[in-house]
Structure 1
């Protein structure tokens, strides 16, 4: 019977130690339990060709987080549709654009010149990891000779759309259109109207109208689309390797 080489056993235990650190809420990421990104190339060099392929497949399903690899639970597509009744920041108008942030990811739309009711229709894509964060947006007026002026801000709690995705899996929905839940405006969110979360042909969709805060007037319309990431393959046992 053939036995695995020590280098391949090392690769196997490094893989399983990484995932076991996420199974316990109290677990701490240490050098022994979770290999930092800088050590991954040396591990791959030690392993055989098969081990390198397994490591590449593992890395493709992970994103960077704080110097370590963190599993992405889903992809959030944010369609920034339009703004309405935005404030004047230049002489008679504004040149607005939107900055959207999720964790340490920051994306922005194009600038619409001289318009208080801009239509962007621009999609921004974010990777989402646990814990689920808050989607934040700010509207700015583009200036040439001075810092860009603020035109208001808003935020969206992503827990409802993530919960709706779990409900979709529990109901085993795969096709058609099903309303999963609704989110009402309250003092803790920036919603202007009730927001509905719907399953539509494989995606979870939420239409959102947001009231801009810290400004005299203005609103922004978004369409959120949530796509679950495929589940990770479990670590292979030593015999399989």
Structure 2
């Protein structure tokens, strides 16, 4: 999937919602960031992976315990380490009956660069959902 191009900006903000079909929650989502060149090939500006396992663990918690929580309740905190691309602590948060994970990802293979990403699980009719998932 691709986002739209943000022109003439060294600190672009996309503010887009993308819906991905996930076949295996054990496989990270791989993001590539490119610039857009008019007369030559686009340059890779970095890459990052989103580890879904901590988020899926939160989704598999007992929903009846979470329903009683207030919006903004932090369900789980994930610390940056050598196995993830987190630039800072990430939180899985209870928000309006859903669990979201907010994260700042440090881009790899580049001097500097970060992405702010928020993920939320959406069940799609006709898909297995998380009932069959083992981590």
> What is the TM-score with the length of structure 2 in the denominator?
0.82
Q: What is the rounded CA distance, in whole Å, between the counterparts of 2:11 and 2:70 in structure 1? A: 34
Match of 2:117 among 205, 215, 222: 222
- Deviations, residues 76-135 of structure 1 (Å, cap 9, x unaligned): xxxxxxxxxxxxxxxxxxxxxxxxxxxxxxx11111111111111011001223453211
Q: Which structure has greater helix proportion?
A: 1
Q: Which structure has greater strand proportion?
A: 1
- Contact kept, 8 Å, 1:211 with 1:219, in 2: the verdict is yes
Answering whether residue 36 of structure 2 is matched by residue 142 of structure 1, we say: yes
Q: What is the rounded CA distance, in whole Å, between the counterparts of 2:88 and 2:110 in structure 1? A: 19
Answering whether residue 102 of structure 2 is matched by residue 207 of structure 1, we say: yes
Structure 2 runs not aligned, ≥5 long: 129-135
In structure 2, relative to structure 1, the CA distance for the partners of 1:113 and 1:128 (3 Å cut) is same
In our comparison, the structure showing a higher alpha carbon Rg is 1
Match of 1:159 among 40, 53, 68: 53
Q: State the match for 2:132 in structure 1.
A: none
In structure 2, relative to structure 1, the CA distance for the partners of 1:130 and 1:210 (3 Å cut) is closer
Answering whether residue 75 of structure 2 is matched by residue 188 of structure 1, we say: no
> What is the TM-score with the length of structure 1 in the denominator?
0.48
Match of 1:119 among 9, 13, 23: 13
Q: What is the rounded CA distance, in whole Å, between the counterparts of 2:13 and 2:45 in structure 1? A: 16
1:228 Cα deviation after fit: 4.1
Structure 1 runs not aligned, ≥5 long: 1-106, 233-241
Q: What is the total number of aligned residue pairs between the two structures?
A: 126
1:169 Cα deviation after fit: 2.9
What is the aligned-residue RMSD (CA, Å)?
A: 2.2
- Contact kept, 8 Å, 1:204 with 1:227, in 2: the verdict is no
Q: What is the rounded CA distance, in whole Å, between the counterparts of 2:46 and 2:62 in structure 1? A: 34
Q: What is the rounded CA distance, in whole Å, between the counterparts of 2:107 and 2:25 in structure 1? A: 25
Structure having greater relative contact order (Cα 8 Å, sep ≥ 6): 1
